[in-house]
Structure formats: structure tokens, C-alpha cells
């Protein structure tokens, strides 16, 4: 598929007016008017939870491991049909922070062409007067995060060395509760500065709890160091954070996103194990209208939606949907990268791309893939265009804002 055709397919899939596209050089750059506006734009806090698949979330029909998350659902915009773009943390970071479509290559967080001059919402919000900060309980160099973030719009980082007398430190850093306590303290101080802030933090230590667990909560199973107990502790820490945040003045001025980076590793043998990409997410804060959203959604849709909810008009290259602007009848899509294969899911139909093979087509009903020859050429072309777009934009360094902005 040539580049003009790729552009045409992506523009059609985005579903926005032709007049919104603003650059011949940067093919996905476009304007987005926020649905909401405020006297001062809202703060934005993004919490990325390690390996928190839907299979562990009680409110999504999973195991009863997330009572604190589930308590937040009735007061939040909760997503019931959201899919991760990949199976690694850096893929989740890429989707949520940059809105970039997954490709068969490694995540752009680790690739050389994207360490500077690559779009992130931190870069966008920084140019609109936001303080932008990354908070991590371990060493921020992990997964190349420090280099990528500082090169693309984050102006400060809090990492393990910045924690004073943490309650617990493991091989991967301080505990989730220490992370959230520190974040709350930082937000209280930032709220005194008179300008909005973006804070992004990764609760990436959920798989390393051992002795710490038994003093904090009743274990789900034995031995202590199981995935289920680690998830239960991660959920406990989420509850700890929101109890703190709701008592502070910044609460009323902030939109919060809680989302998984990906599910736990899967042993399924499918070309792309779609059920293992189903993850939880919720958006909450003062003024967020609670609703249960069952529309098919991708991680790449979250950042455009958040820009509307915090009241920021913008120009950016993200191709995801602003979900505040589509109705309940919106038919979404999910894009999932698994090893060298990629699945494109829409309206119960799936196209799976594999190296050096023709596209494989399926129906997807009750979490089951069934081969089908009735998938439209239009859907196949959409599936092909998306990874080609990402590869092209990365290789030619066309995923950014205008240089003079």
C-alpha cells in the first residue's frame, strides 16, 4: 500500500473533517477542539498499572482481587471493552502517552529515531503552560523511560533515589503505597504554584511483593508471591491514593486516568490471543460524569479523550478517537500487536496480519476466533494501513507537532 493510500485510509478511519488536517508534511497532524472548557485547564494525572488485565478485575467479571478499583467504578467513566495495544509496558506507555499506533518493531520508547522530536502529551501540555512530571518507584532508566521522557516533553522525574525513608523497598524499587504517598505530596505542592500540571506515574512493582503483603491485606492464595496476591496489593495501593487525593484541594481541579499497561503474560496459542488484551480503565475526578462504557476502545483513544476532558484545545498527530465526541452507537476498533502478528478488531470481525502471509480473517464472538471469508476489503485495508502508518511516521520522523510551536 503506497503512502497516499495509507494516509487516505487513516484519515477515513479517524472520521474527522478534512479541514482539521493542518500539515502536508505531517500527515496525521490535526486540530482538536476540547468538548469542555474551564477558566484554567484541569490538571491531568495518569496512573499506569502493571499487568492488570481484566481477568483480575471483579467489576469486569474477573477474579475478586480489586475491591478498591471496583469502588471507584460507580463514580467514574469506566471502560468495559478496552484493549491494550501490546504485551509489554513500553507498548502501553507508547499508546497512552504518545497515542502512537503499534507496529511490528519494538516500542518507540526504545527506538533511536524517537528519543527526541517525537510527540507526547507532555510536550503538548508543556507548550500550554503545564508542569510535566514522571514519577516512578524504581530507577527511571528502566525500559529507557528516562531518556525518552526527558527528550520528549517531561521537565522533571521523581525516581527511587528521591524517596526519603520509604516504608518498603524491593528489588524493583519502593512500594506502590510509597509511590502514591509521594505523588500526593508532590501534587499538593504543585497545586500551590498556580499553573496546571501533568503527572504520569507507573505502578510497575506489582509483581515483586513477598514479605510486605501479609502485613497489609488478607492474601487471596498461597504462597505469598503469586500474581493474584500482587494484584490485590496493587489494588490496595490504588485505594490508598484516592483516599489521600480526595482530601486535598487539587482534587477538584484534576482529571485522573487509571489504566493497565497490558495484561499478564499469556500462554494461549492463538495467532493473537485477543482475550489477553482486555484491560480495565477508568477516568474520574470532580465534574466527570459517571458512566459505564461498553464501546470497543483502544488505548490510543485515551489521550485524545483526556485532552477534551481537561479543557485543552490542541493540534496533534494522534489518530485515536476523542470519545467525548462520538455517540453510544460508535463502532470502535482495537489494534493489538503480538510478537510479529497484529490483529485489527472491529464490529465482531478480525483481520490478523502475519509476516510474509496474506491477511487472515475471522469473526470474533464470545472470545472465540472463527475463520471467515466474508470480511470486507475495506476492513482488510484499514488493518493493513495502521501498522504501515506507524512504520512510515517513525522512519521519516513525521510524528510530532510543528517545530515552530
| CATH number of the domain encompassing residue 336 | 3.30.1120.80
Contact at 8 Å (CB) between 71 and 282? no
Last residue of a domain, one of 315, 346, 375: 315
Judgement on whether residues 64 and 26 belong to the same structural domain of the protein:
no
Judgement on whether residues 235 and 213 belong to the same structural domain of the protein:
yes
* Whole-number Å distance between alpha carbons of 370 and 362: 5
Q: Residue 60: is its pLDDT beyond 60?
A: yes
* Whole-number Å distance between alpha carbons of 136 and 58: 27
Find the CATH number of the domain harbouring 153.
Answer: 3.40.720.10
pLDDT-based confidence at residue 217 (cuts at 50, 70, 90): confident
Q: Does residue 359 lie in a domain region?
A: yes
218-227, 264-273, 360-369, range with greatest mean pLDDT: 360-369
Centroid of chain to Cα 208: 22
**Contacts of residue 60, Cβ cutoff 8 Å, sequence gap at least 6:** 54, 80, 278, 280
pLDDT in tens, 388-404: 999 999 999 999 997 54
Judgement on whether residues 25 and 174 belong to the same structural domain of the protein:
no
Q: Does residue 41 lie in a domain region?
A: yes
Tell me the residue range of the domain where 343 lies. 3-31+331-395
Q: Is 8 exposed, middle or buried (0-12, 13-18, 19+ CB in 10 A)?
A: middle
Contact at 8 Å (CB) between 52 and 59? no
How many other CB atoms sit within 10 Å of the CB of residue 338?
Answer: 20
Task: Decide: helix, strand or coil at residue 5.
Answer: helix
Q: Among the residues of 165-213, which ranges form H helices?
A: 176-190
How many other CB atoms sit within 10 Å of the CB of residue 61?
Answer: 10
* Whole-number Å distance between alpha carbons of 133 and 126: 10
pLDDT-based confidence at residue 213 (cuts at 50, 70, 90): low
Which of 56-60, 170-174, 384-388 is predicted least confidently?
Answer: 170-174
Share of the chain above pLDDT 90, in %: 79
How many other CB atoms sit within 10 Å of the CB of residue 161?
Answer: 9
* Whole-number Å distance between alpha carbons of 99 and 334: 13
Share of the chain above pLDDT 70, in %: 96
Judgement on whether residues 27 and 149 belong to the same structural domain of the protein:
no
Last residue of a domain, one of 280, 315, 350: 315
**Nearest partner of 66 among 274, 281, 327, judged by Cα:** 281
Last residue of a domain, one of 256, 282, 315: 315
pLDDT at 405: 42
- pLDDT (average), residues 288-303: 98
Judgement on whether residues 73 and 110 belong to the same structural domain of the protein:
yes
Long-range pairs for 9-12: beta carbons < 8 A, 24 or more residues apart: 9/381, 9/382, 9/384, 9/385, 10/319, 10/385, 10/386, 10/389, 12/382
pLDDT in tens, 160-172: 888 898 888 877 7
Task: Decide: helix, strand or coil at residue 342.
Answer: strand
* Whole-number Å distance between alpha carbons of 19 and 32: 11
Q: Does residue 271 lie in a domain region?
A: yes
pLDDT at 227: 87
At residue 114, φ and ψ (nearest 5 deg) are -110, 10
pLDDT in tens, 76-94: 999 999 999 999 989 999 9
Judgement on whether residues 271 and 161 belong to the same structural domain of the protein:
yes
* Whole-number Å distance between alpha carbons of 155 and 96: 18
Rounding to the nearest 10 degrees, give the CA dihedral for residues 24, 29, 34, 35: 90
pLDDT-based confidence at residue 46 (cuts at 50, 70, 90): very high
pLDDT in tens, 183-194: 999 999 999 998
- pLDDT (average), residues 325-330: 92
Q: Residue 210: is its pLDDT beyond 70?
A: no
- pLDDT (average), residues 276-281: 97
- Residue, of 187 and 209, whose pLDDT is higher: 187
**Nearest partner of 216 among 240, 245, 180, 243, judged by Cα:** 240
Q: Residue 298: is its pLDDT beyond 80?
A: yes
- pLDDT (average), residues 55-72: 97
Global pTM value: 0.96
Instruction: Please report which helix (H) or strand (E) contains residue 121, including its range.
Output: helix 121-126
pLDDT in tens, 99-156: 999 999 999 999 999 999 999 999 999 999 999 999 987 777 777 888 999 999 999 9
Terminal Cα-to-Cα distance of the chain (whole angstroms): 32
pLDDT at 219: 86
Judgement on whether residues 335 and 190 belong to the same structural domain of the protein:
no
User: Cell 507548550, residue?
Assistant: 127
pLDDT at 204: 61
Domain count, the chain: 2
- The pLDDT mean for the chain works out to 92
* Whole-number Å distance between alpha carbons of 210 and 222: 11
Q: Does residue 281 lie in a domain region?
A: yes
* Whole-number Å distance between alpha carbons of 64 and 7: 44
Torsion 287-291-295-300 (CA) sign: positive
Amino acid at each position: 500500500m503506497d503512502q497516499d493510500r495509507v494516509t487516505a485510509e487513516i484519515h477515513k478511519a479517524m472520521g474527522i473533517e478534512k479541514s482539521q488536517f493542518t500539515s502536508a508534511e505531517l500527515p496525521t497532524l490535526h486540530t482538536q477542539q476540547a468538548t469542555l472548557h474551564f477558566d484554567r485547564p484541569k490538571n491531568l494525572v495518569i496512573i499506569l498499572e502493571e499487568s492488570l488485565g481484566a481477568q483480575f478485575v471483579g467489576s469486569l467479571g474477573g477474579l475478586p482481587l480489586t475491591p478498591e478499583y471496583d469502588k471507584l467504578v460507580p463514580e467514574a467513566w469506566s471502560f468495559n471493552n478496552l484493549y491494550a495495544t501490546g504485551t509489554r509496558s513500553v507498548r502501553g506507555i507508547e499508546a497512552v502517552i504518545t497515542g502512537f499506533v503499534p507496529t511490528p518493531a519494538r516500542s518507540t520508547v526504545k527506538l533511536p529515531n524517537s528519543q527526541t522530536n517525537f510527540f507526547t502529551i507532555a510536550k503538548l501540555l508543556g507548550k500550554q503552560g503545564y508542569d510535566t512530571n514522571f514519577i516512578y518507584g524504581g530507577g527511571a532508566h528502566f525500559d529507557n523511560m528516562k531518556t525518552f521522557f526527558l527528550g520528549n516533553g517531561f521537565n522533571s522525574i521523581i525516581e527511587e533515589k528521591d524517596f526519603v525513608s520509604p516504608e518498603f523497598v524491593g528489588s524493583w524499587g519502593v512500594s506502590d503505597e510509597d509511590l502514591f504517598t509521594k505523588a500526593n505530596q508532590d501534587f499538593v505542592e504543585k497545586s500551590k504554584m498556580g499553573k496546571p500540571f501533568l503527572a504520569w506515574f507507573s505502578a510497575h512493582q506489582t509483581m515483586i511483593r513477598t514479605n510486605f503483603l501479609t502485613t497489609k491485606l488478607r492474601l487471596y492464595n498461597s504462597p505469598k508471591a503469586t500474581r493474584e496476591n500482587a494484584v490485590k496489593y496493587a489494588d490496595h495501593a490504588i485505594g490508598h491514593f484516592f483516599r489521600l487525593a480526595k482530601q486535598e484541594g487539587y482534587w477538584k481541579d484534576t482529571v485522573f486516568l487509571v489504566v493497565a499497561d497490558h495484561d499478564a503474560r499469556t500462554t494461549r496459542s492463538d495467532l493473537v490471543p485477543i482475550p489477553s488484551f482486555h484491560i480495565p480503565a477508568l477516568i474520574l475526578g470532580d465534574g466527570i460524569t459517571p458512566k459505564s462504557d461498553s464501546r470497543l476502545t483502544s488505548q490510543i483513544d485515551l489521550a485524545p479523550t483526556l485532552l477534551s476532558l481537561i479543557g485543552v484545545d490542541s493540534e496533534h498527530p494522534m489518530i485515536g478517537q476523542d470519545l467525548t465526541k462520538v455517540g453510544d452507537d460508535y463502532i470502535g476498533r482495537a489494534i493489538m500487536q503480538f510478537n510479529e502478528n497484529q490483529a485489527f478488531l472491529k464490529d465482531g470481525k478480525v483481520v490478523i496480519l502475519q509476516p510474509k502471509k496474506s491477511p487472515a480473517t475471522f469473526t470474533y464472538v464470545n472470545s472465540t476466533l472463527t475463520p471467515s471469508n466474508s470480511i470486507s476489503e475495506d476492513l482488510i485495508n484499514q488493518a493493513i494501513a495502521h501498522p504501515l502508518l506507524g512504520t512510515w511516521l517513525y522512519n521519516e520522523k513525521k510524528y510530532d507537532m510543528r517545530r515552530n510551536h
